[in-house]
Chains A and B, each alone.
Chain A
């Protein structure tokens, strides 16, 4: 087995320079723990950016994937497979009750949602449909999703972006109402902004979006790629908001490590896409959909979801006691930690990795914690202790 130095040398020579990686090469994972090549144990409070929500190598997911791999790996969407159909039924019946389009990632799920919204708008006679979102949102890096991600869509070196996207200041209900008009195809919202530092969207803004969509005929789309699949203490984050969207997008934890995404509609948008409108070679494959069925079996459990809410409260309460923590944000086990002014969050993130705690620094002054949903109280307390030690050393 190669060590970190050799792996790093290969990465630097052969991979495109799109990521800044932490100085560790993980070789094994089990539950909430990761292990590097030297056997050092790390408490994983990032879970692959909210992907491994059932922990690493969850036995039910491993079993489902293993059994499926041994039976059938891929046939394409030109044929029927049972896991695909069962997963679509399960996702629809657990949320908006419409139809499902499967894909391979979150950005693809948002691409599908954008396509649904534009097709739906054309059906209403809109020739140049627009999609409105808030400034701080992140919807992905393919060109449609990127164009709906205002802060990233300013890099002129990657332009031109897709036309038909508008952004309004975060949580500004009046600006949102003003931006939604007769040409609006959809309002695309993260119920909790994840990549920009865990910022829950205010109830008033969500209500304004719902009201504006109802008035104009536009669709309300919730990007639940990070918030969905139990992360906030309910299967979907919208269940803890005062609105019900027309479309939701899901990915990340849906496959607990297997790449799978889904665009799920309610009845209003269920018939928007027709044969030939959209497609994917790998999507809805039996391995990913079997993994997702195992994930839903485990996550869609009231006891687990209650634990997520209770442990999230315990985590935030513990963090808020620490010197150096200005406050916390989030819901369930999706937690943003605002550090006191002057504390270098990036340095704390690196220090915590050294101490054996994996966290993320999505924005200056902010740590993001996304532990597996199966984390236990003792592990929460241990993470809080490590963060306290790191802040004390800063």
Chain B
């Protein structure tokens, strides 16, 4: 091959190579663009999914909080009602206690035979006997029409005594005896039924 032929051949190879390289570069660029486009699409899709999941979780939490708030409000309302009921019960108990002293129809604590006459200076060495100290105050029962006579007339102290004894494990008979000796309550069925439930 002559020198001029080789020059022509080299030129043809160089042109062909340049064309193929240009095609390869174009294909690579196209592939890269496609990869980038697909990645961007994937990212957008995931972002949308993530936002939707976040919105769903937030909505769920808000719904839960709303339910909890309603429950707390309901409990607060129940507590308020219980508190009012307790205040009423306390006021009633106070009123009953106020009327349970000796001047209002109850039996005062008597004195032993060795005690001095009324009006003399109290003798610290002498004690009052331990008989029934308190009786049911009739006026309290009269002021509470409709209620059972025993329950309405039972001093609050007797009810507390019976409750504390029951809680501490005393039997029905023991509480009944204590109510009889301490408060002269002859028939304690109503108060015992209220605290311990009806007798079997």
Contacts and interface: CB of A to CB of B under 8 A. Distances in A.
A355 interface: no
A302 B174 CA distance: 14
Interface in A118-177: 135-136, 150-151, 167, 169-175
A135 B126 CA distance: 10
A240 B169 CA distance: 10
A150 B125 CA distance: 11
Given A136-B127, A169-B124, A242 B160 contact: yes
10 contacts: A170-B124, A170-B128, A171-B127, A171-B128, A203-B133, A204-B101, A207-B97, A234-B170, A239-B168, A240-B170
Nearest to B159: A242
B130 A200 contact: yes
A203 B124 contact: no
A240 B100 contact: no
B128 A172 contact: yes
Most A CB within 10 A of own CB, among B97, B109, B130, B169: B169
A187 to B, nearest CB: 15
Contacts of A236: 168
A172 B160 CA distance: 22
B182 A203 contact: yes
B160 A243 contact: yes
A208 interface: yes
A239 B165 contact: yes
Contacts of A350: none
A244 B160 contact: yes
Nearest to A241: B161
Interface in B89-143: 94, 97-98, 100-102, 109, 122-124, 126-128, 130, 133-134
A305 interface: yes
Counting contact residues on chain A (CB < 8 A from B), the size range is 35 or more
Contacts, number: 93
B157 A173 contact: no
Interface in B166-200: 167-171, 174, 178, 182-183
A238 interface: yes
A218 B165 CA distance: 25
B69 interface: no
B109 A305 contact: no
B164 A244 contact: yes
B105 to A, nearest CB: 14
Nearest to B166: A239
A206 B97 CA distance: 12
B164 A240 contact: yes
Contact of A305 (B94, B134, B160, B168): B168
B152 interface: no
A30 interface: no
A242 B182 contact: yes
A63 interface: no
Contacts of A243: 157, 160
Interface in A286-330: 302, 305-306, 309, 329
A240 B101 CA distance: 20
A391 B165 CA distance: 36
B166 to A, nearest CB: 9
A248 to B, nearest CB: 13
Given A170-B128, A234-B170, A203 B165 contact: no
Contacts of A205: 133
Contact of B109 (A150, A167, A171, A306): A171
Given A171-B127, A202-B109, A235-B168, A242 B101 contact: no
Contact of B133 (A172, A199, A204): A204
A305 B158 CA distance: 22
Nearest to A170: B127
Nearest to B183: A203
